[in-house]
Amino acid sequence: MRAALTRRAAQSSPASPRCVQCLQRRRHSTYNHFITQNERSPEPGAIRLAVKDNIATFNLPTSCASSILAEHPSPYEATIVQQLREHVNAHVVGKTNMDEFGMGSHSLNSAHGPVRNPAGQDLSTGGSSGGSAVAVQVDDADIALGTDTGGSVRLPAAWIGCVGYKPSYGMLSRYGVVPYANSLDTVGLLARATTPIRASIFDSSIYQLTDPKDPTCLSLKTRQRCIKVTPVTLPDLSDVTIGLPLEYNIAELDPSIRSAWSQTAELLAANGATVVPVSLPTTPEALCAYYVLAPAEASSNLAKYDGVRYGVRSTTSDAAGDTLYSETRGVGFGDEVKRRILLGTYTLSSDAIDNYFLQAQRVRRLVQRDFDRVFRLASPLHEPVQFDLSDMPDTTDLQDKTGPAQVDFLLCPTAPTCPPRVEDVKTRGSVASYVNDVFTVPASLAGLPAVSVPVRSQDQGTAKHGVPASMQIIGQYWDDRRMLALAELME
Ligand code: GLN
């Protein structure tokens, strides 16, 4: 909060466009954060926008960092890119490197090689939007687009040390975003500070726009209801209640992150906020539910990459051969994508669907209910509750399952640890990597807005490897604007 009064986003120093491009190339060869770069320099005054490689753009290919879509030219542009070009004069500087199809937590699963962390090249950048996080951090872009299905904007933001914002599900159009798991996918934004993110989506009014081309983008009618019932301005901190979810205080939490969490809570309380512990009892089940649901949706989405409808066809098979699909997919997909396809195909199979997919859907509803119970604001998506007193559960049940709606926001760490070493990530294997998403997936399952913000001031936790600890703020559905205002105060 003190920092909010003094800190300003670093301005890029004026330099000739030629020179800027040379520097950008040199940085790129060090961190490998772009897959393709725009040869054209931005006009003076334009906002430099880096775009994750799973978001369609004109001119630059959209490969999702996969060999199966190598050099894929998109015939159209994603709505969010078009909106940012039209409303905030954004200029696409390049397509950023990522985990293939958004599957991963370290930006290592890319056909173009790993993204490297500017804080230490042996450290994970987080994923899957690692390239977007690095692009803003090294000042190659003012804002970057990422996608966040289960934390892919927030985790790299935390491990690179920038701000990463996942909007309420359905607020921003997904048209032109290559689907990973449709019911969870959101477009997210990264920047070195919160202000440019708020300015590009809220001051520009992009958040008010619907998109008939994306059926999951909120309709104008629902959007108007959300806008009408959700407060816009953050009240004085003395009128704000922050909840600390107890279930996030897990044994595996790095002590430096735990300390940063307590110190941030203390600082908010010292500035007048009421800070209370809350319980979100289904949290421990959320990660498992996510890793059933996301691969299930992915296995269905990725069926179209078969070398016939989409994708680079394997040159070793002829079009009439039986092995065309398997050879194309065997060569075109990386190991993690294949693992997710197999996992998803299994959990959707008739033998397993009851035990896995349907159970995970139930857990998802419980996670949503946990959140709804603790927020002071009701979700604007829910119809007002009609109480039929003849059908009330008995009171013991009621005490167990409900409680006073009390908090405006939840505060918790974005990730349980500081950025791990890439070597350790490789040794531990992919299932160990899934644990990094433990704090980000609950908000994704519930479709809630969340933002990861580095807590920089010296007394807010120790910075490890020069990367400050990051905290996550989670808000009620559509309460994005006030949540970002709180993040701005915390920078
Ligand atoms: N790490 C998570 C996964 O691999 C989240 C990815 C994402 O949000 N795109 O599924």
Q: How many CA atoms lie within 13 A of 317 on its CB side?
A: 19
Query: Exposed, middle or buried by CB within 10 Å (0-12, 13-18, 19+), for 337?
Result: buried
Q: What angle do CA 457, 462, 467 make, to 5 degrees?
A: 85
Q: What angle do CA 21, 25, 26 make, to 5 degrees?
A: 120
Q: What is the pTM of this model?
A: 0.91
Whether residue 464 lies inside any domain: the answer is yes
Model confidence at 435: pLDDT above 90: yes
- pLDDT reported for residue 460: 44
User: What's the CA-to-centroid distance between 276 and ligand 1, angstroms?
Assistant: 30
With CA atoms as reference, report the closest residue to 190 among 75, 50, 310: 50
**In this predicted model, what pLDDT tens digit does every residue of 49-65 receive, in sequence order?**
999 999 999 989 999 99
Model confidence at 395: pLDDT above 90: no
Whether residue 402 lies inside any domain: the answer is no
In a mutational test of the pocket of ligand 1, which residue from 52, 96, 100, 103 has the highest number of ligand atoms less than 8 Å from its CB? Answer: 103
User: What's the CA-to-centroid distance between 128 and ligand 1, angstroms?
Assistant: 6
Query: Catalytic residue at 128?
Result: yes
Nearest-angstrom CA–CA distance, 119 and 465: 6
**In this predicted model, what pLDDT tens digit does every residue of 72-117 receive, in sequence order?**
899 999 999 999 999 999 999 999 999 999 999 999 999 999 999 9
Model confidence at 328: pLDDT above 60: yes
Count CB neighbours of 448 within 10 A: 27
Model confidence at 322: pLDDT above 80: no
Q: Which of 355, 382, 417 is the last residue of a domain?
A: 355
- pLDDT reported for residue 28: 73
Please tell me whether residues 229 and 308 are part of one structural domain: no
Catalytic residue among 52, 105, 444, 457: 52
Shortest-distance Cα residue to atom 5 of ligand 1 = 150
Please tell me whether residues 471 and 328 are part of one structural domain: no
Whether residue 257 lies inside any domain: the answer is no
- pLDDT reported for residue 325: 85
- pLDDT reported for residue 13: 39
In a mutational test of the pocket of ligand 1, which residue from 128, 147, 335, 339 has the highest number of ligand atoms less than 8 Å from its CB? Answer: 128
pLDDT band at 19 (very low <50, low <70, confident <90, very high): low
Nearest-angstrom CA–CA distance, 411 and 258: 12
Q: Which of 333, 355, 377 is the last residue of a domain?
A: 355
Model confidence at 346: pLDDT above 60: yes
Please tell me whether residues 308 and 423 are part of one structural domain: no
Instruction: Quickly tell me which residue has 């405006």 as its tokens.
Output: 408
User: What's the CA-to-centroid distance between 432 and ligand 1, angstroms?
Assistant: 13
Q: Please give the full DSSP string across 338-370, using - where no structure is assigned.
A: HHHHHHHHHHTSTTTTIIIIIHHHHHHHHHHHH
Please tell me whether residues 309 and 232 are part of one structural domain: no
User: What's the CA-to-centroid distance between 290 and ligand 1, angstroms?
Assistant: 9
- Residue pair 156/130 in contact (Cβ under 8 Å)? The answer is yes
Stretch (H or E) spanning 412: strand 409-413
Whether residue 392 lies inside any domain: the answer is no
Q: Which of 335, 355, 375 is the last residue of a domain?
A: 355
Please tell me whether residues 192 and 291 are part of one structural domain: no
- pLDDT reported for residue 398: 42
Does residue 466 or residue 337 have the better pLDDT? Answer: 337
Model confidence at 10: pLDDT above 50: no
- C-alpha distances (whole Å) from 451 to each of 106, 168, 197 are 19, 11, 11
- pLDDT reported for residue 238: 96
pLDDT band at 121 (very low <50, low <70, confident <90, very high): confident
Whether residue 404 lies inside any domain: the answer is no
pLDDT band at 21 (very low <50, low <70, confident <90, very high): low
Q: What angle do CA 138, 41, 15 make, to 5 degrees?
A: 60
What one-letter code names the amino acid at 52? K
Query: Catalytic residue at 152?
Result: yes
Please tell me whether residues 343 and 428 are part of one structural domain: no
Please give the residue range of the domain that contains residue 336.
285-355
Model confidence at 166: pLDDT above 60: yes
Which domain CATH number covers 122? 3.90.1300.10
Tell me the sheet residues that pair with 96.
34, 52
pLDDT band at 481 (very low <50, low <70, confident <90, very high): very high
State the ipTM, two decimals. 0.98
Whether residue 382 lies inside any domain: the answer is no
Q: Please give the full DSSP string across 105-129, using - where no structure is assigned.
A: SSS---TT-----TT-TTB---SSS
- Residue pair 112/97 in contact (Cβ under 8 Å)? The answer is yes
Please tell me whether residues 44 and 128 are part of one structural domain: yes
Q: Which atom of ligand 1 is nearest to the CA of 291?
A: 10
What strands lie across the sheet with 274-278, from one edge to the other? 34-37, 90-96, 47-52, 143-148, 186-191, 163-166, 450-454, 470-475, 409-413, 241-245, 274-278
Please tell me whether residues 177 and 317 are part of one structural domain: no
Please tell me whether residues 7 and 150 are part of one structural domain: yes
Structural domains counted in the chain: 2
Q: Percent of the chain at pLDDT above 70?
A: 87
Which protein residues touch ligand 1 with a CB less than 6 Å away? Answer: 102-105, 128, 147-152, 180, 294, 437
Whether residue 243 lies inside any domain: the answer is no
Please tell me whether residues 330 and 466 are part of one structural domain: no
pLDDT band at 309 (very low <50, low <70, confident <90, very high): confident
Q: Among 106-115, 264-273, 381-390, where is mean pLDDT lowest?
A: 381-390
Whether residue 179 lies inside any domain: the answer is yes
Q: Percent of the chain at pLDDT above 90?
A: 80
Catalytic residue among 74, 110, 152, 452: 152
Model confidence at 221: pLDDT above 50: yes
In a mutational test of the pocket of ligand 1, which residue from 101, 166, 180, 431 has the highest number of ligand atoms less than 8 Å from its CB? Answer: 180
Count CB neighbours of 149 within 10 A: 29
**Which two tokens mark 355?**
């035990």
User: What's the CA-to-centroid distance between 153 and ligand 1, angstroms?
Assistant: 9
- Residue pair 40/121 in contact (Cβ under 8 Å)? The answer is no
Please tell me whether residues 102 and 28 are part of one structural domain: yes
pLDDT band at 326 (very low <50, low <70, confident <90, very high): confident
Which DSSP symbol is given to 324?
H
Count CB neighbours of 108 within 10 A: 23
